Each structure stands twice: as C-alpha cells, then as structure tokens.
A and B are shown apart, each in its own frame.
Chain A
Amino acid sequence: MQLLELQNLKKYFATQKAVDDISFSINEGSIFGMLGPNGAGKTTLLRMITGIFYPDSGEVMFNGKKFDPQSDFRNIGYMPEERGLYKKMKIGEQAVYLARLKGLSHAEATQKVKEWFIKFEMQSWWNKKVEDLSKGMSQKLQFVTTVLHEPKLIILDEPFSGLDPVNANLIKDEIFHLAKNGSTIIFSTHRMEQVEEICDHIVLINKGKKILDGSVNNIKQEFKENIYQLGAKTLPENLINYIFEVVKHDNHQVLLRLQNDATPNDVLKHFLSQGVEIQSFNEVLPSLNDIFIKLVEDTTKARQFQNIQ
C-alpha cells in the first residue's frame, strides 16, 4: 500500500525552479532513498512533504488523502539537514517539549523520552544543556526527538553526518528496526554507499527534476554494462578475442565486457577450451555512485540562477 504519493509537485523561487514537476510514490514500510547533488531541490521537496512549504502546484497525498498539516503533523517526524535544538534548554525538557508539540501528553512524552534515553544510553544527559553536547551527541538527540512520537513517516536528511561508525551503526540498526515495525522512512543523502546498504527504493533528483526512479537492484540491472570478472590460477598471455573486450587484467584476474551478443557461458567455454583453471566468475554491477556520477556528470556541476516568470 502506498503511504505517500507526490503528484506533479512544483515549487518555483524567484531565481530557481527548485522543484519542477516531480511525481513518485512510496510504499508503506519501505526505506526510500532520495538522492541528488547539492542544490538539486531535495530539501525543498522534503519541506513540501512535511507541510512547511506549500507547493505552487501539484498534490501531496498522505495515506490516500490530501495531506493536511493539522492532522498529519502527528504522523510525520522530520530531521532536517541543519540540526536544530534550543542550545540553552535542558535536554530532557527539550525532548519532552518537542514530543508534546507533536501532540503527546506530558506523561506519555516523558515516558517515551525515558525509554529512548535508556535505549541510546543517554540517561545521564537529562539535565545537561544542548550546548554541552558534542556534534555527534546532539545528532543522536535529534534522531530521538524525530522518531519519539512513533510517526508513520520518518524523514531523515543526512542522518549520519558527523557520527562515528559505532553511533552510525546504532542509528542504522534503529532505522531498520523502525521500518520492520511498519514505519516508512525517507532517507535523503548524497552518500551512495549508505543508500546501497539501506534503501529498498530510490529516486534520483537533479536540477529539480526526477531523473531516476526504481528499486536499487532494478536500477543496477538497467545500468549494467555486461562486465564480468574472472579469476584463474594462470591466465593465457593472449586474451584478444571476439566475444569480449578486456577492460583490465593481470596474471590472475581479468575484467571483461561482453561483445557481439555473447553470453557468460560463451566466456566460460572459451576459457575452459583453453585449459584455464577457473577459480571465480561473477558479474560486476555498477555501483550507485558510478550511476549517479554518470547521470549527473553530463549536466553542469552547479545549478545556475535563472529568471522565472
């Protein structure tokens, strides 16, 4: 079932088409990656989903109905890229306050904050102030305040920036856990290796337009270049052949690209017939990073300012 559906969203600023006719939908319980270079329009898009901005045109459908900030605020947890907390406010009080703004009662909010603080080993922080925290620590706190009220839709904008590997793993595990319990997660980043690891489904946005949409596996299949890697005890000197071209090789390994409608079986037959002792053979799919760079590279590196009438 679809939790969120964007229909032809547009948002123009004075000098930018920040979001220019974007549509996609997100399934309930999935981890959805939103990728794009700096200034692609990701944050503007997220702000429209959270109801902070109104779209110039288009609709945001939430849970099958038109998105209504008043009733749907409760169902959304948003962690913006620029972290925001009151510096002078005590951490426990602050977490309770933010949860109550989402509509939890005082008792309920206090209870939840305590649970999460125990889970993340933050109990001793309760009476400290945010200004006493390191960047990574306040990151953890921000994450807790985002997911505390058990929203259906959790939006995380660069959630791992500034975290050490241990804490990054802690949050990563928590993201999987939340998704397993039915929350839908939108994960916005430009760090591809994280996306590959975490996300079921991704869209790629560039210059305000969607340029890619699909599951991670499908996208990789779509962009694959029929490259295989073969490992052997010793490789013959002469590798020139009509069924593949050599991309890279040394004495034990060769990276090859199929040619002339050849299949992997043809390659194996070829080497077997030469008496080569094969140790490994596998397809090499492009990384999302390669796809991303390939798609974005053709366009200019940075967005230019333009006049919107």
Chain B
Amino acid sequence: MNKTLLIISREYFTRVKKKSFLLTTILVPLVIVAFYAVIIAISIKGTTDETKIAIIDNAELFSDSLSSQNTNLKLSFIKNETEQSFINKYKDQGFQAFLNVPDFDISKPHKFFVHSQSSLSLTNSIAIEKLINKAIENKRLLAKGIDPAVFKSITADVQVENTIDSKEGSKKGSAGIAYLVSFACGILIYMMMIIYGTQVMRGVMEEKTNRIAEVIISSVKPFQLMLGKIIGIGAVGLTQFAIWIVIMIVLQSAIPLIFPDIMQQISSGTASDEDINMIATFTQGMSALPLAKILFLFLFYFLAGYLTYASLFAAVGSVVSEDQQEAQQLVFPILMPIILGFVIMTNSINNPNSTMAVFGSLFPLTSPIVMMGRITYDIPFWQIAVSMLLLIGTFLFFTWVTGKIYRTGILMYGKKPSWKEMLKWGFKKG
C-alpha cells in the first residue's frame, strides 16, 4: 500500500509541477472571466454614450408628442432644411446622424432613412424604429378618435416569474440558469474523462516504450503501478477543479469591487438596464438550485466515471507499443460511449424524464455524463441509487479485468494483440 502511495505521489507531482498544468489551470477561468468582464464593461460604457440625432420632420409626425424613453438619444428638430441641403451640414452642427421624415400616407408607411457618417449601432436603430412606430400609432389612434392616454391606460404588460418550492421556502428560479448549470457539468465531465483518460493511456505507453515498466514491476505489482497512475492523474484533475472553484469565488467577490455601481443597483432593485438584469437573474437563479446536491453528484460521477474509463484507457496503453495509430484504433471503441453519453445528455436537459434520459443515466457507460443533464431536476431517489450502484459495480469489474490485461500487455512487445486475445488475458485465472 505504501508503494502505491509512492507511485501516486510521483504521478501527481510530476504533472502538477509542470508549467503547462499551471498555465491551463489558471488561464482557462481567467479567459472566461475576462470575456465576461469585457461584456459588462462594454454594456456599461454604452449607457453613458449619447448619440445626437437631428430630425427633419416634414410630415409633422412628431408634432403631437415626442417622448424619448431612451436616454441614449438626444433628439433635435431642424426647421427650414431639406434632406439634400442638410446632408452636408449635420456633421458640422454636431449631430452623429439625422432622420428624414418626408410627407407620407399614415395608413401605408414606407421606409425611412437615417443618414450617418458611420454605421448606426443596433440599439440606436432599434430605438429610432420604436420612436417612429410609437408616433405612427399615436397618429392612427387620433384618426380613429381614441385618446392615446386612454389607450395607454388599457394596455397590459405582465411578466412571469418562476418560483421553486423547496423545504427551505420559496425561491426565484430560472430555467435558463438550470440549463446552463446542467450543460456546464455535463461538458466538464465529458472533457475531463477524455483529457485525463488519454493522459493515463499516454503515461502507460510512456512507461512501456521507455521500458521502465520492467524495472518497476520488479519492485511492485503491476496492479499497484496501474492503480497508482490512475489515482495520481485523477488527483491532478481534482486539484484543477479545486483551483478553478477558488479562482471563481475570488473573482466573484472581486466583481463588486471592480464594478461597484452595478451591484448597488442590483441590491437596491433599481437596475433598469437589461444586461444588469441578467446578472440579477443569474445570482437569483443560482441560489435557487440545490447546489450541495449538485456538487455531490458532480464529484461522485466525475470520480466514478473517470475511474471506470481510466482503467480501460490504461489497458489500451499497455497493449500498444509506440505506434500512435494503433492506440487511436483501440481508443475509438472507448470514446464511442462517452460521445453517445454527451449526445443523450444534451437531449435530456430538455426532456429530463424521457425513456432515453432515464436509460442513459442508469447505463453505467453513459451515466456519468447523462446524469448531469438531469441534475437540476428532481430525480427519483431509486434512479440515483441504481445508477450509482451500477457504476461502482462496473468500475470494480473493469478494474479487475483490465488489471490482468495490463499485467500481460505491459511486458509484451511487437504485434498488437487482437480483441480476442485481450479478452483472453482479461479473464485468465490467477
């Protein structure tokens, strides 16, 4: 047992001390957060920028009312100018753009033109469209003899909010956030299984082609070597997760420091901008999820799934020698169920109780990934129990069989064995 620990620590430290490990571990979340920060920064900057727009209102469209809801636009009316005469002047008078409203039939409006030096931003062109539509609606209401004020008093504008009832009381939920969390968990397990599984395979191949395996096997049992490698690399994966979680927590608490006004707006409930609303929904949606349960299930399925597949990857690494292509051929059948699991997972986020989703989350080769697709929903207890037991059983069985394949394969050089031969080794007695 001591020797297995020794192997685990070597596998672990040689990987963790590598520069590439530090780089990917720290850079990945930083890139994600930096991206996030840039989006927030841009949306805040957008609210302070004013666009001055001139209007030549030949149709007297805005004569009755002009209420610019959007503070981004500063509107001014220009008299005694035509579209042709003003086109050379608006820039000198400090306008970024001007809107020309020619005389037109109120029942059949056509296109309107906005002149500008550079292309108009999407929010601004939407705001202008809104402005014109509102004005035309007002004109039409008046034509039918309806007071716009009366009309406004009878239009309704309601919003639906989802409340999740749990033991701890009601919380605001968000379907979008639940979707996001499921998907993120699923894709993480999918990626980790493939990335760390291949690392196990490469490590075994390295030991075999360097012939160090023979030296080590004269000191420890082959099974100890295999187990040490699998556990050591799995610990590297967990370390990476732990670092990511710490970085996320640090950065999340750093956001209010970097953007103090947003958080103030959210907490006081005065947030008006849509982007800021999104952040509010996100924090509320996150707190509505059963986070402890999700974390537990995620860690369990990550570990059990990784261990199950890692032993297969180790067996493949032990039977091939040097030839990368041979390894790829043998790895393909192992990747198939992982990819299948991913496909079922994306499907089961939308249909968490479909037959396919239930089957996929019980079947041990796909369950680590598919279960993540259902993780934010209420999964019946028996399904979780059966799924976990099946997965643990499969892991034990695979390790037993692959341990024997590994023992034979690691010392065989030359021809790649067939599947039949490998199975024969796997079920050999003793």
List chain A positions with a Cβ less than 8 A from chain B: 47, 50-54, 69, 73, 76, 78-80, 82-89, 97-98, 100-103, 145
Contacts and interface: CB of A to CB of B under 8 A. Distances in A.
Nearest to A79: B215
Nearest to A80: B214
A103 B214 CA distance: 17
Interface of B: 3, 6-7, 10, 14, 206-207, 210-221, 411, 430
Main secondary structure on B side of the interface with A: helix
B212 to A, nearest CB: 4
B218 A78 contact: yes
B6 A52 contact: no
A102 B217 CA distance: 10
Nearest to A78: B218
B212 A97 contact: no
Contacts of A83: 211
Given A89-B14, A97-B10, A101-B6, A52 B217 contact: yes
A38 to B, nearest CB: 14
A52 B411 contact: yes
A145 B14 CA distance: 20
B430 A98 contact: no
Contact of A50 (B207, B218, B220, B221): B218
Given A54-B430, A69-B221, A73-B220, A84 B215 contact: yes
A100 B14 contact: no
B14 A101 contact: no
B215 A78 contact: yes
Given A73-B220, A98-B215, A102-B219, A86 B6 contact: no
Nearest to B10: A97
Nearest to B421: A14
Contact of A101 (B206, B211, B216): B216
Contacts of B210: 84-87
Contacts of A54: 430
A82 B219 contact: no
B200 to A, nearest CB: 16
Contacts of A51: 218
Nearest to A14: B421
Contact of A84 (B10, B211, B220, B221): B211
Contacts of A79: 215
A101 B214 contact: no
B20 to A, nearest CB: 12
Given A54-B430, A101-B3, A73 B219 contact: yes
A53 B430 CA distance: 12
Residue of A73, A84, A102 most packed against chain B (CB within 10 A):
A84
Contact of A76 (B3, B207, B214, B218): B218
Given A98-B216, A103-B3, 12 more contacts: A50-B218, A53-B411, A69-B221, A73-B218, A73-B220, A82-B211, A82-B214, A84-B207, A85-B212, A86-B212, A98-B219, A101-B220
